[in-house]
Amino acid sequence: MFCPYELTFLGQYFINVSLGLIALFILISLILLISTITEKVLPTAITFTFGLGMMIMLERTNLSLNYFLSNFFPYHMVDFDNYYIRPIMYIINDSIIPSHWWIMIIGIMQICLFAGISYKLALRFFTKNKELSH
């Protein structure tokens, strides 16, 4: 298999594992965020099912939206051979960022965002419980 990057099999394995974990963290954090906002099970299940359907439908259609949106769905994130056979480059400020770095950057940003939201919600929850106990 041709690879434009200088990688060993062990390096490729660790990149695959880290990309898969980031994709799972993004999917789980999205589900937890939706369930926290809606506070009900049914809207979360409907949103999750709709998201899975979108991942499958966007992968099979040829839209210009695919380039911007479907690259960030977990289904496409864990399509590992795509990173090594057809690496999509993102150009930001005249510098090229390979897709596997871009996905890791987005994942870290989302983890930080969801950690901040969780911290704010936890503070609100614990301060409300302290007021009730006094």
Q: In this structure, are residues 74 and 23 in contact, taking their beta carbons and an 8 Å threshold?
A: yes
- DSSP-assigned states of every residue in 70-88: GGGSHHHHT-HHHHHHSPP
- Residue holding tokens 């979108």? 54
Q: What is the mean pLDDT of the chain?
A: 73
Tell me the pLDDT tens digit for each residue of 48-92: 787 777 766 766 666 665 555 555 565 555 565 665 565 555 666
Q: How confident is the model at residue 113 (pLDDT cuts 50, 70, 90)?
A: very high
Length of the chain in residues, anyone? 134
What is the greatest pairwise CA distance in the chain? Answer: 66
What integer pLDDT is reported at residue 33 of this predicted model?
82
What predicted TM-score, i.e. pTM, was given to this entire model? 0.39
